[in-house]
Structure 1
Amino acid sequence: MTTERAGLVWLLAATFLVAVAGLVYELIAATASSYLLGDSVRQFSLVIGIFLSSMGLGAWLSRYVGDPVTGFIRAQIALGLIGGFSASVIFAAYAGYGVIGLPLYGALVVIGALSGMEIPLIARVLEEIGAHEFRFENVLTFDYLGALVASLAFPLLIVPYLGLMSAALAFGCLNLAVAGLSLWVFRDRLGPRGRGTWVAWGLALGLSGLALIQSERMVSALDAALYEDDIIFAERTPYQAITVTRFRDRTRLFLDQSIQFDSRDEHRYHESLVHPALSRVARPRNVLVLGGGDGMAAREVLRHGAVEAVTLVDLDPRVTELFRDHDDLAALNGEALRDPRVTIVNADAWTYLSDPGPAYDVIIADLPDPRTLALSKLYSREFYQLMVQRLAFGGAFVTQAGSPLYAREAYWSIVETLEAVPSPARPGETLEVTPYHVLVPSFGDWGFALAQPDAPAQRAITLPPGLKFMSPPVWAAAQVFDGDTDRVAVEVNSIRNHPLAAYYQQGWDYWFE
């Protein structure tokens, strides 16, 4: 193979590889920001916009690079270091200071600019080596193919099997491998002036390789900085990051760094979520729990002697496996997920309700907060209409609805959304909704919304024995809202406009930013 031919083949291959790495860095930044800051639509839009505009800047700056071969190689070395360590720096900044703006957007600008230089520099190298088969559209084709491969591999392989920090370091090493092979292929063109570049490449490769080998320890160290207690389990699944921590007799579950329960006070939350709804139904035989993969809500449901069957629908099979199969975690839910009356279905809640299936006497939505549009749809009028279709005659539905103090507008938007759903039992009318809230120390003032197609009978709440928190006086007090938490004017949440996600983000930002 001639030198010209070898250079052409390698540069087209390099175009493919650097395109893969560049898009992976962009996806890592967008995913990390949505994990840590919420509102995935806003974060992905910002990341994509900043990255693409920075690529345009890099393409413009490439005209000032004197030697395109040296410029391309040095850009790969810089990308290997900056892109490779980008996720580590972002998570370290969040763990240490609670902010990620400067490292996130600063890295995006630099990575985008360096990535934008690649195609113009490759084109100039091909022209300079006299590659007669060179056509610019061939370079673009390999670039777009690399982007396709990265976009498919990221959710299916990279995140589940590498995680964000290890993935960034691995693709940083890929950029450095491209730099090293380019140094070798074009060694005759560089001559003695390439020695400094060889040294820089070797140092960068050594540092990145060492970091990649130690990436698991780095992840563990950052996790330890993020959480107060000892981490007894940490795993990233295709759906989320699962972390379980423990200190003495206190166990806490975090999903994507957001607390889901604290064993010291989870009974206040789960008793409040479950028992008012079941007490509204004469014979709650068949119960559906949406979310609640930790089994705590199912534990409370099984306290009611009339219950014959519980279907628990949770998206992530790893969560339900953990709280069913690990004895110490299963003990927290009273081994509810091992009970023969409980059927676990690992599926999306929307899809499950959309498919044909049985009617339920009680439906309990123990779903994540509406931080993103994907989660906001599970609090939409359309979702609640699906839910009503799966309620048996005389049934009841309850959902956790966030904090009426910290996210006041979001809470009342959920209530008003339920109140906007037509009642199948009373033509021309809507669901009867009972808003209520309790103090859960781990979360703060926390709200729920209980809905029924029929007007509820005026009777005292009936509770099973053995509860630690919920009682008739607590239930009566829970329905009283003060001046800081009472109803405000808000929009109904629909999949067409999604005001809920914005309400949620604005509320929490007001209190905690």
Structure 2
Amino acid sequence: MDLDDGTPPRPGHGLTPLPARRRSRLRSRPRLARLTVLLAAFVCAACGLVYELELVALGDYLLGDAVTQTSVVLSVMVFAMGLGSLLAKRLTRRPATAFALVECALALTGGLSVLALYSCWAWLGRCQPAMVGLTCLIGILIGAEIPLLMTLIQRIRREDAGRAAADLFAADYVGALIGGLAFPFLLLPALGPGDGALLTGAVNAVAGAAVVLWLFREEPAPRIRRLLWGGCLLVLAVLAAAAAGSDAVERAARHALYGDQVRYATRSRHQEIVLTGPAEGPLRLYLDGRLAVCGPDEYRGSEGLVHPAMADGPDARVLLLGGGDGLALREVLRHRGVRSVRLVDADAALPRLARTDPGLAALGGHSLDDPRVRTTAADPLAWLRDANAGGSTGVSDGGDGPYDVVLADLPAPADGGPVTFHSQEFYGLAARLLSPGGRIAVRAGSDPDETGGPGGPGDLDGLWQIESGLRTAGLQTTPYAVPGSATGSCRPGPPDTAQNFLLAAATSPPLTLAPDAPAPRALTPDTLRASAARLTALRPTRPPAALTLLGPR
């Protein structure tokens, strides 16, 4: 980075010293002034990238499909930055004043963006238009920064444009690196998206507006300068007030979403967890706004996943992928032959809640406190990869397989689950951990257009894609379904739909129930066989391709 020491340039260097009248406007020596402007560029770039990442993360939390939200935010942001650069050409006659205004607007917009989007999602039910609009506005303001900063640097010392651009872009890119690292490792775990954005906005306002106004205080007229200082202080006051009231806004939004009986709410590193319901009554567990557990009918999904897989063959060693709420684990432990269970869930906060909340712990039969259970906080795919490698990366501690039963208590892609947990690679790694005669059971989504009972006609493409992944991993499969509630007690409107599952093994697995286990409430051998027959009749002659990590979505 080429910093001037205040001495006149030698002839032939292509540099022209500024007239004494203009240099006198600076409150620092040219070298220090230039370094201060580059530092402001560094800080503003870090803040700009944090705003982008905040929008990406919140879009994933609220709308799902991280790939789509990332693509929308980044593409709109880059387009808007180009538009902002063009618009900034009209502002370069008074760059310090314009830069102060841009940074105040950016600090206010970026700082409040998370609370605004969350409020739109909670009260209006839609946040995609607001997210695109905020992304565009923030991008325009970020794009205006570089032309204005370039003009300010040239005000300090006029030099070759390429050399000035090199220093400015170096500060900008290094700042973006710091912002990109600070967001996941510092801001998100320590403050969360909302308060993290507000703090970033405050830093942006101070670094971007106040520093430039201090250096170039002679550019704006005294009245305009006082207004700019007042605007900067007003932005800081608004951000401070928003930070003080952010908890109240979040509580009000949650009550609008979930009613007045919110008993627990937190945002972990992976998701927002909200538990609702009275102290003694039916509970509902929401993960990132999606209903994951409905107390009155939760047993249907838990029984459907667990009991057919535990019925035919050994069941001493069980691997449960997901299921941090402890409900599927409760059903596993009802089988007397179980000797050990390894539960792998990416979010350590969910098993912790299932242990400590009296209502959820009682609903799960205090299964997580059973001495036969070992819990691991790890991404299920990463854990499977490491367990197959003998624990070489330290994610799985080598595992304790092979396993007689592997249960994937993970939402299907059609229900908002990640594709990675239903990919061919995922099932291939799980199959390698099976003992001889072992079985795998997975959730395969629901049947939204069900007519005529479980397994009726509907959009079953997701089911057959998951089945293709299991079959590509060398397993034989049997589809089946568990009927939904006849009263629709978990969701307003029509009765709840059937939940689809797949049972897989090296040879075609039979559908039955263990005669020595407590009888499930939602299943009988007859309903299992009837649902399997209906789904088998609906299987396409040319099934869809399996989901893969590198394949099309």
Same fold (TM over 0.5): yes
How far the C-alpha of 1:419 sits from its partner, in A, is 2.6
Contact between 2:414 and 2:462, CA under 8 Å: does it hold in 1? no
The 5-angstrom pairing of residues 290-301 of structure 1 reads 290-301=321-332
Match of 2:539 in 1: 487
- After superposition, the C-alpha distances for 1:281-330 in whole angstroms (9 at most, x for unaligned) are 2x311111110001111100111111111111111111112212343332
Q: Answer yes or no: is 1:455 the counterpart of 2:498.
A: no
How far the C-alpha of 1:116 sits from its partner, in A, is 0.6
How far the C-alpha of 1:372 sits from its partner, in A, is 10
The 5-angstrom pairing of residues 434-445 of structure 1 reads 434-439=479-484, 441=488, 442=490, 444-445=497-498
The 5-angstrom pairing of residues 111-190 of structure 1 reads 111-130=138-157, 135-178=164-207, 179-190=209-220
Q: Which stretch has the larger CA shift, 354-363 or 468-477?
A: 468-477
- After superposition, the C-alpha distances for 1:416-435 in whole angstroms (9 at most, x for unaligned) are 32233324xxxxxxx23333
CA distance in 2, matches of 1:74, 1:249: 54
Contact between 2:64 and 2:416, CA under 8 Å: does it hold in 1? no
Q: Quickly say closer, same or farther: Cα 1:273–1:301, change in 2 above 3 A.
A: same
Q: Which stretch has the larger CA shift, 78-87 or 130-139?
A: 130-139
Residue from 75, 79, 82 that aligns with 1:56: 82
Residue from 457, 460, 468 that aligns with 1:408: 460
Contact between 2:55 and 2:73, CA under 8 Å: does it hold in 1? yes
Q: Quickly say closer, same or farther: Cα 1:187–1:265, change in 2 above 3 A.
A: same
Match of 2:72 in 1: 46
Contact between 2:512 and 2:525, CA under 8 Å: does it hold in 1? no
CA distance in 2, matches of 1:118, 1:455: 63
Q: Answer yes or no: is 1:342 the counterpart of 2:369.
A: no
Match of 2:524 in 1: 471
CA distance in 1, matches of 2:321, 2:422: 12
Give me the TM-score of the superposition, normalised by structure 2.
Answer: 0.83
Contact between 1:419 and 1:432, CA under 8 Å: does it hold in 2? yes
CA distance in 1, matches of 2:165, 2:409: 54
The 5-angstrom pairing of residues 268-417 of structure 1 reads 268-281=300-313, 283-354=314-385, 355=387, 356=390, 357=399, 358-370=401-413, 375-405=418-448, 407-417=459-469
CA distance in 1, matches of 2:212, 2:277: 49
Contact between 1:272 and 1:438, CA under 8 Å: does it hold in 2? no
How far the C-alpha of 1:466 sits from its partner, in A, is 5.4
Match of 1:426 in 2: none
How far the C-alpha of 1:490 sits from its partner, in A, is 4.4
CA distance in 2, matches of 1:229, 1:360: 43
CA distance in 1, matches of 2:128, 2:431: 42
Contact between 2:310 and 2:514, CA under 8 Å: does it hold in 1? no
Match of 2:30 in 1: 4
Q: Quickly say closer, same or farther: Cα 1:463–1:438, change in 2 above 3 A.
A: farther
- After superposition, the C-alpha distances for 1:423-448 in whole angstroms (9 at most, x for unaligned) are 4xxxxxxx233333431554632111
CA distance in 1, matches of 2:516, 2:472: 29
CA distance in 1, matches of 2:110, 2:353: 34
Q: Answer yes or no: is 1:83 the counterpart of 2:110.
A: yes
Contact between 2:479 and 2:500, CA under 8 Å: does it hold in 1? no
- After superposition, the C-alpha distances for 1:183-228 in whole angstroms (9 at most, x for unaligned) are 2332233231322222322322211211112222222222222223
Q: Which stretch has the larger CA shift, 33-42 or 52-61?
A: 33-42
How far the C-alpha of 1:344 sits from its partner, in A, is 0.9
Match of 1:33 in 2: 59
Give me the TM-score of the superposition, normalised by structure 1.
Answer: 0.90
* Unaligned ranges ≥5, structure 1: 424-430, 503-513
Residue from 196, 199, 203 that aligns with 2:227: 196
CA distance in 2, matches of 1:81, 1:460: 60
Match of 2:11 in 1: none
SS in 2 for 1:250: coil
Match of 2:94 in 1: 67
Match of 2:12 in 1: none
SS in 2 for 1:43: helix
Contact between 1:56 and 1:116, CA under 8 Å: does it hold in 2? yes
CA distance in 2, matches of 1:364, 1:388: 11
Q: Quickly say closer, same or farther: Cα 1:136–1:455, change in 2 above 3 A.
A: closer
Q: Which stretch has the larger CA shift, 66-75 or 253-262?
A: 253-262
Match of 1:505 in 2: none
Q: Quickly say closer, same or farther: Cα 1:368–1:284, change in 2 above 3 A.
A: same
SS in 2 for 1:264: helix
CA distance in 2, matches of 1:490, 1:285: 34
Q: Which stretch has the larger CA shift, 358-367 or 125-134?
A: 125-134
| Identical-pair percentage | 34
CA distance in 2, matches of 1:466, 1:182: 73
SS in 1 for 2:186: helix
Q: Quickly say closer, same or farther: Cα 1:22–1:166, change in 2 above 3 A.
A: same
- After superposition, the C-alpha distances for 1:117-149 in whole angstroms (9 at most, x for unaligned) are 111101101112336797321111111111111
Return the letter of the residue paired with 1:88: L
SS in 1 for 2:263: strand
Match of 2:474 in 1: 422
Task: Say how many residue pairs are matched.
Answer: 491
- After superposition, the C-alpha distances for 1:92-129 in whole angstroms (9 at most, x for unaligned) are 11111211122111111111011011111011011123
Contact between 2:187 and 2:196, CA under 8 Å: does it hold in 1? yes
How far the C-alpha of 1:5 sits from its partner, in A, is 3.3
When Rg is computed on C-alpha atoms for both structures, the one with the higher figure is: 2
CA distance in 2, matches of 1:8, 1:342: 61
SS in 1 for 2:522: coil
Return the letter of the residue paired with 1:448: F
Match of 2:493 in 1: none
CA distance in 2, matches of 1:162, 1:493: 39
SS in 1 for 2:517: coil
SS in 1 for 2:296: coil
Q: Answer yes or no: is 1:267 the counterpart of 2:296.
A: no
Return the letter of the residue paired with 1:158: L
